[in-house]
């Protein structure tokens, strides 16, 4: 996983070293507060604005990881 | 032009700590604190209403101030227990005020600014000399405890603000009042009388619109005392980080939760000395609508 720290901060209630990239976000407890955490971290730490509708399309942990990578790469 | 004479509040009488609700919401007290940043909230009991709390806050004004010559009363609420007449009418009929224009409006977290804007207009047009703003809400009555991410954020309460037209008061310098098209259902009372909030949608509104609009108001200013709506931890952290310049950013949500339109007057009441010694203040409300109303006031 490329964005372990961000994902661990977003999914604060689960230990991401113990989960698989194919696990669904629903199963990992990703909820509206997780979306808020992700938007806040990306805005405050990387100055990247995320539309919550984009987050709703993500299914697995791997999707989330790739999504974050794309956002970080596009902001360079 | 406008002088804050006195602000008083009356909050829900049940002080609810995180440990009081941890079993009901399914988060530990520590998790509630980490997620919301809130230590406790004030919840109305069965007989406390928005009208009753507004009247209770007003009576504290009546105890010490000359209220006979109040000529304008404006109230704001999303959750009156009586749909009409308004809370302003309710307080008027239960007060010693004898002859005032009465206005009741329906707004959420921008409500204090909406009322203040009307008072400023009335003062500037010589239609009022002394005004009372009432804010009151009891959101908790409309949020089931199972809706934990919303229920843990809000408190119930009311405020009264006595304002006078005064040459040594604040003058309105700039303001912004906007609503995001297409956001009607992001924070609303649904047809089952439950309050629903799309938290990510509201935060996105804050990041994409409110912050930019606030920055446009104060980009040429230094040392502004900023009194923002106490929306919650993440929104306020983001605001304080993104607002440009060297300003004082007041907050007290940790011990009060989100009091809707009462959050700004509650903050002003607790920082009343700072308010009256300040030369430049920004009051900023944002939420239901989704609307944003901020005003830069200067002496």
Domain boundaries, chain A: 4-75
Q: What is the pLDDT of residue A75?
A: 77
Mapping DSSP to helix (H, G, I), strand (E, B) and coil, where does residue B195 land? Answer: strand
pLDDT digits (tens, 9 = 90+) for B3-60: 999 999 999 999 999 999 999 988 899 989 988 899 999 999 999 999 999 999 999 9
Residue whose structure tokens are 């009335």:
B122
CATH, domain range B2-165: 3.40.47.10
Would you list the DSSP string of B79-114? --SS-SS-HHHHHHHTSS--S-EEEEE--STTHHHH
Residue whose structure tokens are 């009081």:
B20
Q: Which CATH class is domain A4-75?
A: mainly alpha
Closest CA to B154 of B138, B178, B173: B138
B8, β-bridge pairs: B160
φ, ψ dihedrals at B11, nearest 5°: -105, 165
How many beta-carbon contacts under 8 Å exist across A and B? 43
Among candidates B200, B234, B241 on the partner chain, residue whose Cβ is nearest the Cβ of A52: B200
Among candidates B149, B199, B238 on the partner chain, residue whose Cβ is nearest the Cβ of A43: B238
Mean pLDDT taken over chain B: 94
φ, ψ dihedrals at B298, nearest 5°: -130, 155
**Does A43 sit within 8 Å of B242, measured CB to CB?**
yes
B211, B239 contact by CB (below 8 A): yes
Q: What is the pLDDT of residue B183?
A: 85
**Alpha carbons B232 and B226: distance in angstroms, whole number:** 16
- Domain with residues B171-298, CATH architecture: 3-Layer(aba) Sandwich (3.40)
Domain boundaries, chain B: 2-165, 171-298
B195, B299 contact by CB (below 8 A): no
Q: What is the pLDDT of residue B220?
A: 84
Domains B2-165 and B171-298 share a fold: yes
**Does B200 sit within 8 Å of A55, measured CB to CB?**
yes
């Amino acid at each position: 996983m490329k964005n372990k720290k961000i994902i661990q901060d977003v999914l604060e209630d689960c230990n991401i070293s113990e989960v698989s990239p194919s696990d669904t976000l629903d199963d990992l407890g990703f909820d509206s507060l997780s979306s808020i955490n992700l938007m806040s971290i990306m805005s405050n730490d990387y100055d990247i604005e995320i539309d919550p509708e984009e987050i709703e399309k993500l299914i697995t942990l791997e999707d989330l990881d790739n999504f974050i990578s794309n956002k970080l790469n596009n902001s360079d | 032009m406008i002088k804050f004479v006195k602000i008083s509040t009356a909050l829900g009488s049940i002080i609810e700590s995180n440990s009081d609700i941890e079993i009901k919401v399914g988060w530990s007290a520590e998790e509630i604190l980490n997620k919301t940043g809130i230590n406790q909230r004030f919840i109305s009991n069965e007989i406390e209403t928005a009208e009753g709390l507004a009247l209770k806050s007003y009576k504290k004004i009546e105890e010490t101030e000359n209220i006979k010559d109040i000529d304008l009363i404006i109230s704001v609420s999303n959750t009156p227990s009586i749909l009409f007449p308004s809370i302003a009418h309710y307080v008027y009929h239960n007060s010693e005020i004898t002859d005032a224009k009465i206005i009741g409006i329906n707004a959420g977290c921008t409500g204090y600014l909406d009322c203040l804007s009307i008072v400023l207009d009335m003062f500037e047009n010589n239609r009022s000399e002394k005004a009372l703003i009432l804010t009151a809400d009891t959101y908790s009555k409309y949020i089931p405890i199972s809706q934990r991410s919303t229920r843990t954020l809000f408190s119930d309460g009311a405020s009264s603000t006595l304002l006078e037209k005064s040459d040594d008061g604040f003058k309105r310098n700039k303001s912004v009042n906007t609503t995001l098209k297409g956001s009607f259902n992001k924070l609303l009372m649904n047809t089952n009388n439950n309050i629903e909030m799309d938290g990510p949608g509201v935060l996105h509104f804050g990041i994409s619109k409110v912050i930019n609009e606030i920055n446009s108001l104060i980009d040429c200013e230094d040392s502004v005392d900023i009194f923002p709506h106490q929306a919650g931890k993440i929104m306020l952290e983001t605001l304080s980080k993104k607002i440009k310049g060297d300003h004082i950013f007041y907050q007290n949500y940790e011990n009060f939760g989100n009091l809707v339109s009462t959050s700004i007057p509650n903050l002003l009441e607790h920082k009343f000395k700072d308010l009256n010694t300040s030369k430049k203040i920004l009051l900023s409300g944002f939420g239901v609508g989704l609307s944003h109303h901020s005003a830069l006031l200067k002496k």
